[in-house]
Amino acid sequence: MTTSPQDTAFQKALSLLRNAKHAVALTGAGSSTPSGIPDFRSAGSGLWTRFFPMEVASLSSFRYHPERFFDWLRPLASHMLKAAPNPAHISLAELEGSGFIHTIITQNIDGLHQRAGSQNVLEVHGTLNTLTCIGCYDQYPSGDFIDAYIERGDIPHCPECARILKPDAVLFEEQLPAKTWLEARQASEACDLMIVAGSSLLVMPVAGLPARAKEHGADVIVVNKSETYMNSQASAVLTGDVAEIIPSLAAELLND
């Protein structure tokens, strides 16, 4: 952990969390990499350093080359299914349960916040936990199809109309889920504190939420390994691993 509990920024973050009436968290890929899930943009290891996103993870790719899409997704889905919540997920759930955090807005599609015990989670980039038929639009839990897909590569098809089932994760060229996005915007505008945890804040429109929160009078805490555009505007910047820093903050708050 680069930032230590003795640092001024750490103490400032503690004070802001203690005094906040309506805090929200915005989490990105960096909150799940400690669980073994690869992120998308890190040099050398990020998925987009090894794949061209429009070729494998776009709506066009899914429509016209579904086999290529599902082949690309298969190892990532396997990682996510096998992953366990890390200390950052668990600590955020504890902070939510204790009233320090009201809402978690996440860019992640792995469902680890819910598995850690968080209740009020807004998945703005969708989820791998459900699938929707491209023909009749029936929705199914992924668990009904995942074993055959992970073990044999079987592409999931609708039991009713036999069309392909699309994972409910947001692809390139696809809009965010409207209701969830509206709720995320409302939460950002209503909060008096936003803690950004493990997000590079590079992917719009979600990356604009901290600025929206600040415009509406909220303080912003940034916890991330690399710099973000919000660092210069944040009330506290804690540089390091979210799986170390968030639990350290939670330990101080929950043991008061």
pLDDT tens per residue across span 134-157: 999 999 999 899 899 999 999 999
pLDDT at 256: 72
Percent above pLDDT 70 for the chain: 91
Contact 24, 193 (CB under 8 A): yes
The mean predicted confidence, pLDDT, of the chain is 91
pLDDT at 75: 85
Residue 133's SS3 state is: strand
pLDDT at 51: 47
Numbers of helices and strands, H then E, in the chain: 10, 9
User: In Å, how far are 17, 65, 73, 179 from 59, measured between CA atoms?
Assistant: 40, 10, 13, 20
How far apart, in whole angstroms, are the C-alpha atoms of residue 45 and residue 97?
34
Contact 137, 194 (CB under 8 A): no
What's the whole-model pTM score?
Answer: 0.90
Closest CA to 215 of 241, 197, 188: 188
User: In Å, how far are 42, 99, 222 from 93, measured between CA atoms?
Assistant: 26, 10, 18
pLDDT at 41: 46
Q: Average pLDDT in the 36-58 region? A: 56
The type of residue at 190 is A
Contact 35, 56 (CB under 8 A): no
> Catalytic residues, which ones?
125
Q: Looking at per-residue confidence, does 54 or 156 come out higher? A: 156
> Taking the CB of residue 127, how many other CB atoms lie within 10 A of it?
22
Give all domains of the chain, ordered by start, each with its CATH number: 1-37+86-125+175-256 (3.40.50.1220), 39-82+126-169 (3.30.1600.10)
Could you say which DSSP state residue 93 is in?
H
